C-alpha cells in the first residue's frame, strides 16, 4: 500500500506544480548553449532542501529530463548542441532545418526523446527492485570494488586523457579524507578549523564546478560577434511538427535499437547521453537501408540520436538507486541531494524508502508526458529563448550559485567552498582536465575508504578476500576492461561520425 501511495503522490497538487516548474526551467537551461542539465540540477538543488523529498525531487527530475530534450532544439535550429547529449542531433537536425523541415525535426526531437525516456523508465521500474535485492548481498569488498569502478569509468569516458581523469579521481579521494575519520573518529587535515570537521561540503563544490566554472569559462571565451542575432533566427521557419506515418514507420527498428542500447550505456557508471547518442547514431546508420542519407538530414538518424538523449536517464537512475553509484554527472548531483535528505542511495533504499522509489518512477513517467505536450505545443516559439541576453544569464546563474551555497547551512564557508570549486573547475576546463572524476572521487571517497578498511578488518588485514569473491573479481575485471576500452573511445566516436 505504501508503494502505491508513493506512486500516486506525484498527483498531489504541490508535487505536480514543482514538476512543471522543473520541466520549464530545464527547457530553458537545455536550449541555451553551455547551460547543461548537470549545471541546472546542481544550481537548483539547494532550492529544494526546504521541500519534502517528493516535491524537491519533482523539480530536479523535471529539470533532468527536459534539459536533455531541450538541448536538441538548439542543435537542430543553429547547429549548436544545447547539452553534450545533443551532439549527434546536429548531424541530421540542422540539415533538416536548412532544407525547410525545422518543424518536423523539432517534432522528432520531442517525440523520440519521450519514447527513449519512457522506455528507460520502464527498465528502471522492472529491473531496479531485482537488482537491489541482488545488491543486498554485497559485502565491504563488493562495495569497494563498485565504487572504484564508478570512478575509473568516469575517468575513462571523460573528455581528455584517461591519465588526467584518474589523477583527478585520486585527488577527489584524497580531499574526501578531510574531516573526522569514519572508523576511529580522529580529526584529519582540519588544521584546527572546526568548519572542516564535517569535511568539504560536497554540494557547494559541485555547484562551483558545474555552475560557476561554466560561467567563468563562457566569460573568458566571450566574443560579441559570435552572438546569434535576431535576424538569423527570424529567418528560420517552423512548419508542421508532424510527418507522414510512413516516415515514422521507417524509424521503428533504429528506435528500438537506440532505446535498448542507450539504457545499457546509461547504466554504465560515468557514461552519459553524449556517448549513447553517438553510438546509437552510428549503429542506426549501419542498420539503415538509406545509410547514405545519414548526416544529410536523415529522419532515422535524428530519431535514433534523440531517443538516446533521454534513454540514458533510466539506466543512470537504476545504477544510482540500486548501487549508490552515479550513472552520469547528473545522478552524482542527485546522490548528493538524497544524502542531504538523510537518504543513502543503494539497496537499503528499496527496503527503507520504497515509497520514494515509486515516486521517482512516477515522476519520470509524468515528466516525459509533460515534455511531450509542452514540446509539441511550443515548437513554433522555441527560437525566442535563444534571444535571451547572455550577460543576463551569467548574472542570474552566479547569484543562484552564491545564494544556493549559502542557504545550504547558512554558512559563509560553503560559499568559499563553492568559489574554490568554481575556480578549480575553470582551471580544469582550461587545462582540459575532466571535473567529473574529481567530483565522483569526493562523493564516493568515504564509501571507498570505509568499505576498504571494514573489509580489511574482517580479514585481519588480508587483501585476499578482495580477489577470491566472484562478484568482486568480476568488477575488478570490468575496471580493467573499462580502462582498456577508453583507449578505443576515440575510434568509436570517429566511426560514429563518419
For 47, counting Cβ atoms within 10 Å of its Cβ (0-12 exposed, 13-18 middle, 19+ buried), the class is middle
pLDDT at 406: 84
Handedness of CA 375, 380, 382, 385 (dihedral sign): negative
For 233, counting Cβ atoms within 10 Å of its Cβ (0-12 exposed, 13-18 middle, 19+ buried), the class is middle
Separation between Cα atoms, residue 75 and residue 113, nearest integer Å: 14
Q: What is the CA radius of gyration of the chain?
A: 22
pLDDT at 154: 66
Residue 463: inside a domain:
yes
Helices (H) and strands (E) in the chain, counts: 23, 2
**3-class DSSP assignment, residue 310:** helix
Dmax (CA) of the chain: 72
Name the domain count of the chain: 1
323: CB partners within 8 A, 6+ apart: 131, 135, 146, 345, 346, 347
Closest to 160 measured CA to CA, from 490, 479, 498: 490
Residue 241: inside a domain:
no
**3-class DSSP assignment, residue 52:** coil
pLDDT at 110: 93
Report the chain (498 residues): mean pLDDT per 10 consecutive residues: 66 89 89 76 82 88 91 83 81 86 89 94 90 81 80 63 80 87 80 80 82 85 57 62 85 92 82 79 86 86 91 89 80 81 81 85 92 87 69 83 80 88 90 81 82 80 75 81 65 48
Residue 318: inside a domain:
yes
Cα atoms found within 13 Å of the Cα of residue 4, Cβ hemisphere only: 1
* pTM of the full structure: 0.81
Domain range spanning residue 172? 2-236+247-496
pLDDT at 494: 47
pLDDT at 233: 55
Separation between Cα atoms, residue 471 and residue 464, nearest integer Å: 14
Residue 242: inside a domain:
no
Residues in the chain: 498
pLDDT at 258: 92
Closest to 16 measured CA to CA, from 48, 42, 66, 54: 54
Amino acid at each position: 500500500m505504501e508503494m502505491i501511495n508513493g506512486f500516486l503522490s506525484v498527483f498531489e497538487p504541490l508535487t505536480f506544480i514543482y514538476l512543471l516548474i522543473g520541466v520549464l526551467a530545464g527547457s530553458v537551461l537545455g536550449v541555451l548553449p553551455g547551460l547543461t542539465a548537470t549545471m541546472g540540477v546542481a544550481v537548483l538543488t539547494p532550492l529544494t532542501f526546504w521541500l519534502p523529498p517528493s516535491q524537491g525531487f519533482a523539480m530536479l527530475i523535471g529539470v533532468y529530463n527536459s534539459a536533455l530534450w531541450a538541448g536538441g532544439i538548439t542543435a537542430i535550429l543553429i547547429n549548436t548542441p544545447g547539452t553534450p547529449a545533443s551532439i549527434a542531433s546536429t548531424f541530421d537536425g540542422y540539415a533538416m532545418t536548412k532544407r525547410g523541415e525545422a518543424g518536423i525535426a523539432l517534432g522528432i526531437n520531442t517525440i523520440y526523446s519521450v519514447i527513449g525516456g519512457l522506455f528507460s523508465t520502464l527498465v528502471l521500474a522492472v529491473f531496479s527492485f531485482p537488482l537491489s535485492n541482488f545488491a543486498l548481498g554485497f559485502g565491504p569488498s563488493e562495495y569497494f570494488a563498485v565504487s572504484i569502478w564508478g570512478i575509473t569509468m568516469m575517468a575513462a569516458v571523460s573528455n581528455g586523457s584517461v591519465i588526467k581523469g584518474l589523477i583527478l579521481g585520486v585527488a577527489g579521494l584524497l580531499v574526501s579524507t578531510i574531516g573526522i575519520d569514519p572508523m576511529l573518529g580522529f580529526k584529519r587535515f582540519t588544521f584546527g578549523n572546526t568548519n572542516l570537521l564535517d569535511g568539504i561540503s560536497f554540494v557547494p563544490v559541485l555547484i562551483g564546478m558545474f555552475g560557476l566554472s561554466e560561467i567563468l569559462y563562457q566569460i573568458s571565451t566571450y566574443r560579441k560577434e559570435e552572438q546569434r542575432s535576431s535576424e538569423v533566427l527570424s529567418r528560420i521557419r517552423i512548419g508542421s511538427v508532424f510527418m507522414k506515418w510512413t516516415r515514422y514507420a521507417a524509424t521503428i527498428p533504429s528506435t528500438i535499437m537506440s532505446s535498448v542500447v542507450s539504457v545499457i550505456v546509461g547504466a554504465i557508471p560515468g557514461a552519459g547521453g553524449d556517448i549513447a547518442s553517438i553510438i546509437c547514431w552510428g549503429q542506426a546508420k549501419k542498420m539503415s537501408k538509406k545509410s547514405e542519407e545519414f548526416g544529410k538530414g536523415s529522419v532515422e538518424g535524428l530519431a535514433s540520436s534523440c531517443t538516446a538523449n533521454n534513454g540514458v536517464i533510466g539506466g543512470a537512475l537504476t545504477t544510482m538507486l540500486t548501487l549508490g553509484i552515479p550513472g552520469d554527472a547528473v545522478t552524482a548531483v542527485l546522490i548528493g541531494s538524497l544524502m542531504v535528505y538523510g537518504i543513502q542511495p543503494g539497496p537499503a533504499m528499496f527496503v527503507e524508502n520504497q515509497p520514494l522509489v515509486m515516486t521517482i518512477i512516477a515522476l519520470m513517467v509524468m515528466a516525459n508526458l509533460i515534455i511531450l505536450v509542452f514540446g509539441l505545443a511550443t515548437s513554433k516559439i522555441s527560437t525566442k529563448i535563444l534571444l535571451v541576453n547572455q550577460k543576463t544569464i551569467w548574472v542570474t546563474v552566479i547569484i543562484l550559485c552564491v545564494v544556493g551555497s549559502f542557504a545550504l547551512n547558512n554558512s559563509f564557508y560553503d560559499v568559499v567552498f563553492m568559489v574554490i570549486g568554481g575556480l578549480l573547475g575553470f582551471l580544469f576546463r582550461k587545462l582540459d582536465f575532466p571535473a567529473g572524476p574529481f567530483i565522483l572521487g569526493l562523493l564516493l571517497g568515504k564509501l571507498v575508504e570505509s568499505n576498504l578498511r571494514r573489509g580489511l578488518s574482517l580479514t585481519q588485514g588480508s587483501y585476499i578476500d578482495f580477489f577470491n569473491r566472484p562478484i568482486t573479481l568480476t568488477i575488478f575485471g570490468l575496471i580493467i576492461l573499462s580502462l582498456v576500452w577508453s583507449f578505443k573511445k576515440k575510434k568509436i566516436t570517429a566511426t560514429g561520425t563518419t
